[in-house]
């Protein structure tokens, strides 16, 4: 590192150059300052999430009703999968710091093994996040959006008198219709409409009116933080007067779980974090190959592993906050 | 950089480790325990923690935030080796971020709460 420092002949003086008051190399220090600026970017995002949440504090979606799936198994498992993702990322941080430690002792083979494990952990995390997005976009029960843009979800009173969620497909009655989607090769100027939902509002309303055990749950929360459930009369009135369209899953404009803002922030913040993880995996790969071909062995130190390690831990650090803000609080 | 002295104790020196590798695993166990506690609390949601509020936030949410900051501390101090950096670098990074983030959160969240009250008590109603 010192090779690039020009000798001025005043090296013994405080301001003569070559001083390292922070006792960190240039690269490491710049990585720290990048991390500070990136941390501020992420806090900007999370703060704006908090802003929107406080703005709609009485109608924000409840996270453990949204993220209830784990791959390959049906049922209601709030947060288990995202807890698993958190462990994967913390564990890949551990293998990363072990790689850094092995680098300090110039143990090339150990660095290779630990960096490889770190990369695998990162890939599992990104894959899990893709799965999580896919599940969120597809949705689970379906809902009806009102003219005011609020979400109405459906409940079914079972034999024990307990209200449980019911999917729109379970009660909607099929109504014969000749309505087809407008596609871009018909009509002028290549306009198409978004694909229609599997059931129309008419079908959902008809099915709802036919079954007396169905109720509507609004997106507003009561004092205990639970969704307000309407009585049968209120439900019928609400659905027939205010219902506008059927929503299945979530995208940037409509969200069956509640306010679309929740979906917007979810896609943006976890997407931005996922992109960081992806970049981190790429940096780790480059450094991994450099370790394998012996670049750092020749250089005499493994500081590059330390620098990408800093970045990788930062990605883990951000996830700890994203996890809390999106899934726990 | 090869063999700088590393601080091998956590909890203000109460828990000492024999080597850096031991310390890493120790910190991993600590972070895992904290995560398990968080997820457990998030699933169970104990009644007495959900009811009370302090500064517009439920007790349970305060616990989550504090545990998160504890986790962040150990990731930064032990995984990112902040414990071994000189105080100048540590302060440049930590004080700057902490001050700016607290300031940002304060103004933004107060503003969000204000807009909520305007929507609630103002003339515009979103009840359709």
Say yes or no: B110 and B58 in one domain: no
pLDDT, residue A2, reads 52
The answer to whether the Cβ–Cβ distance between A101 and B21 falls below 8 Å is: yes
Mean pLDDT score of chain B = 83
Is the pLDDT at B10 greater than 50? The verdict is yes
pLDDT, residue A3, reads 58
Say yes or no: B69 and B118 in one domain: no
Q: Hey, what are A190's tokens?
A: 């290549």
pLDDT, residue A115, reads 94
Is the pLDDT at B5 greater than 60? The verdict is no
Residues of chain A above pLDDT 70, percent? 92
Read off the pLDDT of residues A9-55 as tens digits, 9 standing for 90 and up: 655 666 766 777 788 888 888 999 999 999 999 999 999 999 999 98
Say yes or no: B31 and B74 in one domain: yes
Chain B from 68 to 107: CB within 8 A of any A CB? 68, 71-72, 75-76, 78-81, 85-86, 88-89, 92-93, 96-97, 100-101, 104-105
Domain boundary among B69, B84, B99: B84
Is the pLDDT at A195 greater than 80? The verdict is no
Asked whether the beta carbons of A114 and A103 are under 8 A apart, the reply is: no
Read off the pLDDT of residues A111-153 as tens digits, 9 standing for 90 and up: 999 999 999 999 999 999 999 999 899 888 888 888 888 888 8
Say yes or no: B7 and B53 in one domain: yes
Taking the C-alpha atoms of residue A220 and residue A216, their distance in angstroms, rounded to an integer, is 12
Q: How many residues does chain B have?
A: 128
- Per the structure, the count of domains in chain B is 2
Is the pLDDT at B56 greater than 90? The verdict is no
Say yes or no: B79 and B91 in one domain: no
Q: How far is CA A303 from CA A37, A138, A276, in A?
A: 22, 44, 21
pLDDT, residue A27, reads 85
Mean pLDDT score of chain A = 86
Mean pLDDT of A199-221: 84
Say yes or no: B9 and B69 in one domain: yes
Q: Hey, what are A68's tokens?
A: 């209830």
Cβ neighbourhood burial of A245 (10 Å; 0-12, 13-18, 19+): middle
> Which positions ≥6 away from A33 have C-beta within 8 Å?
B93
The owner of tokens 């996830």 is A319
Helices (H) and strands (E) in chain A, counts: 11, 6
Say yes or no: B55 and B93 in one domain: no
Is the pLDDT at B87 greater than 90? The verdict is no
Taking the C-alpha atoms of residue A220 and residue A61, their distance in angstroms, rounded to an integer, is 9
The owner of tokens 């990074």 is B93
Read off the pLDDT of residues B95-122 as tens digits, 9 standing for 90 and up: 999 999 999 999 999 999 998 888 888 7
Closest Cβ–Cβ partner in B2, B31, B38 for A104: B2
The 3-state DSSP class for residue A1 equals: coil
pLDDT band with cut points at 50, 70 and 90 for residue B1 = very low
Which residues in chain A have their CB less than 8 angstroms from residue B72's CB?
317, 320-321
Is the pLDDT at B3 greater than 50? The verdict is no
Question: What topology is assigned to A25-139+261-328 in CATH?
Answer: 1.20.120
Q: Which of A38-42, A81-85, A222-226, B78-82 has the highest mean pLDDT?
A: A38-42
b/e sequence A196-212, b meaning 16+ C-beta within 10 Å: ebebbbebbbbbbeeee
pLDDT, residue A99, reads 93
pLDDT, residue B2, reads 38
| Domain extent at residue B17 | 1-84
What is the sign of the dihedral through the CA atoms of B69, B75, B80 and B84? positive
Closest Cβ–Cβ partner in B42, B68, B80 for A320: B68
**What's the whole-model pTM score?**
0.86
Read off the pLDDT of residues A45-87 as tens digits, 9 standing for 90 and up: 999 999 999 988 888 888 878 888 888 777 777 788 888 999 9
Strand partners, A216: A154
Asked whether the beta carbons of A257 and A61 are under 8 A apart, the reply is: yes
The answer to whether the Cβ–Cβ distance between A79 and B43 falls below 8 Å is: yes
Say yes or no: B74 and B121 in one domain: no
Q: Hey, what are B6's tokens?
A: 């590393």
Is the pLDDT at B65 greater than 60? The verdict is yes
pLDDT, residue A46, reads 94
Using alpha carbons, select from A287, A271, A276 the residue that is nearest to residue A315.
A276
Say yes or no: B4 and B53 in one domain: yes
Asked whether the beta carbons of A179 and A219 are under 8 A apart, the reply is: no
pLDDT, residue A297, reads 86
Cβ neighbours of A244 (radius 10 Å) = 15
Instruction: State which H helix or E strand residue B97 sits in.
Output: helix B87-121
Say yes or no: B72 and B35 in one domain: yes
Question: Testing the interface with B: which of A19, A39, A219, A238 to mutate, by most B Cβ within 10 A?
Answer: A39
Question: Testing the interface with B: which of A1, A37, A70, A94 to mutate, by most B Cβ within 10 A?
Answer: A94
The answer to whether the Cβ–Cβ distance between B35 and A83 falls below 8 Å is: yes
Using alpha carbons, select from A94, A114, A92 the residue that is nearest to residue A103.
A114
> Which positions ≥6 away from A267 have C-beta within 8 Å?
A133, A252
The answer to whether the Cβ–Cβ distance between A317 and B72 falls below 8 Å is: yes
For chain A, what is the largest distance between any 2 Cα atoms, rounded to a whole number of angstroms? 93
Mean pLDDT of A278-293: 94
pLDDT, residue B100, reads 94
Say yes or no: B67 and B115 in one domain: no
Using alpha carbons, select from A230, A251, A250, A228 the residue that is nearest to residue A241.
A230
Q: How far is CA A8 from CA A3, A13, A18, A25, A242, in A?
A: 13, 10, 9, 20, 79
> Which positions ≥6 away from B46 have C-beta within 8 Å?
B60
Read off the pLDDT of residues A146-180 as tens digits, 9 standing for 90 and up: 888 888 888 888 877 788 888 888 888 888 777 67
Say yes or no: B64 and B95 in one domain: no
Vertex A208: Cα angle to A202 and A212 (nearest 5):
155
The answer to whether the Cβ–Cβ distance between B127 and A148 falls below 8 Å is: yes
Is the pLDDT at B18 greater than 60? The verdict is yes
């Amino acid at each position: 590192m010192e090779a690039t420092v020009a000798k001025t002949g005043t090296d013994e003086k405080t301001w003569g150059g070559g001083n390292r008051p922070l006792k960190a190399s240039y690269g490491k220090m710049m990585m720290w300052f990048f991390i500070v600026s990136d941390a501020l970017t992420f806090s900007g995002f999370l703060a704006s999430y908090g802003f929107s949440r406080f703005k709609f504090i009485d109608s924000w979606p409840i996270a453990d009703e949204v993220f209830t799936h784990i791959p390959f198994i049906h049922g209601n498992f709030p947060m288990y999968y995202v807890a698993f993702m958190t462990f994967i990322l913390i564990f890949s941080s551990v293998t990363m710091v072990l790689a850094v430690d092995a680098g300090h002792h110039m143990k090339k083979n150990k660095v290779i093994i630990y960096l490889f494990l770190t990369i695998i952990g990162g890939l599992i995390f990104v894959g899990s996040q893709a799965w999580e997005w896919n599940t969120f976009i597809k949705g689970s029960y379906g809902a009806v959006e009102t003219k005011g843009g609020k979400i109405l979800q459906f409940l079914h009173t079972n034999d024990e008198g307990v209200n449980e969620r019911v999917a729109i497909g379970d009660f909607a009655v099929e109504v014969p219709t000749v309505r087809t989607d407008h596609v871009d090769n018909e009509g002028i100027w290549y306009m198409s409409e978004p694909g229609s939902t599997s059931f129309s509002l008419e079908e959902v309303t008809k099915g709802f009116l036919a079954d007396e055990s169905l109720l509507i749950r609004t997106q507003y929360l009561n004092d205990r933080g639970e969704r307000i459930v309407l009585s049968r009369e209120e439900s019928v009135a609400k659905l027939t007067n205010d219902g506008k369209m059927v929503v299945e899953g979530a995208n940037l404009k409509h969200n069956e779980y509640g306010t679309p803002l929740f979906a917007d922030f979810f896609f943006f913040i976890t997407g931005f974090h996922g992109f960081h993880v992806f970049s981190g995996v790429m940096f780790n790969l480059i450094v991994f190959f450099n370790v394998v071909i012996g670049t750092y062995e020749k250089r005499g130190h493994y500081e590059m592993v330390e620098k990408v390690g800093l970045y990788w831990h930062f990605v883990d650090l951000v996830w700890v906050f994203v996890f809390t803000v999106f899934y726990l609080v | 950089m090869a063999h700088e002295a590393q601080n091998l104790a956590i909890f203000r020196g109460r828990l000492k480790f024999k080597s850096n590798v031991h310390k890493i695993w120790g910190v991993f166990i600590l972070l895992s325990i904290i995560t398990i506690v968080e997820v457990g609390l998030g699933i169970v949601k104990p009644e007495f923690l959900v009811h009370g509020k302090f500064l517009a936030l439920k007790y349970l949410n305060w616990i989550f935030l504090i545990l998160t900051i504890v986790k962040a501390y150990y990731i930064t101090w032990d995984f990112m080796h902040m414990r071994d950096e000189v105080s100048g670098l540590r302060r440049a990074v930590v004080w700057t971020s902490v001050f700016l983030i607290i300031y940002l959160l304060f103004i933004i969240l107060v503003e969000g709460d204000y807009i909520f009250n305007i929507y609630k008590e103002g003339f515009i109603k979103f009840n359709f």
